[in-house]
């Protein structure tokens, strides 16, 4: 995000979905926060197990930026050939959906 090459945007999007699913806006809802943190950590572990990192620069095989130039690189076919981002976005969605579907199955099983 912002060309800083820190936490992967695909993973960040997945974490935002987790916040919508499990997040709590109530300041003293420690149980809600704990459920959200656990969910995010599980998703982060799954993503890292698949790709080896959550850090954009590492995923792209690039050195982290020392000084950040805000100018975007030219979007050429060669630029996109080096970017696994669409695959990582799709995998982040799969990981998220798999996780919430398995939790739904667990909840149904506990009711039955």
Would you state the torsion angle of the CA atoms of residues 103, 106, 108, 110, taken in this order, to the nearest 10 degrees? -140
> Where do the structural domains in the chain lie, given as residue ranges?
9-111
pLDDT for 104 equals: 66
- Dihedral of CA 103/109/110/112: which sign? positive
Distance CA 108, CA 87 (A): 31
Q: What is the mean pLDDT of each run of 10 residues along the chain (112 residues)?
A: 88 95 89 93 97 94 74 89 93 94 64 42
pLDDT for 111 equals: 45
């Amino acid at each position: 995000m912002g060309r800083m090459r820190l936490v992967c945007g695909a993973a960040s999007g997945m974490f935002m979905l987790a916040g919508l699913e499990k997040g709590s806006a109530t300041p003293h809802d420690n149980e809600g926060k704990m459920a959200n943190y656990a969910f995010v950590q599980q998703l982060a572990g799954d993503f890292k197990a698949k790709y080896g990192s959550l850090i954009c620069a590492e995923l792209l095989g690039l050195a982290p930026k020392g000084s950040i130039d805000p100018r975007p690189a030219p979007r050429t076919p060669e630029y996109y050939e080096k970017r696994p981002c669409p695959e990582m976005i799709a995998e982040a969605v799969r990981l998220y959906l798999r996780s919430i579907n398995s939790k739904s199955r667990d909840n149904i099983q506990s009711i039955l």
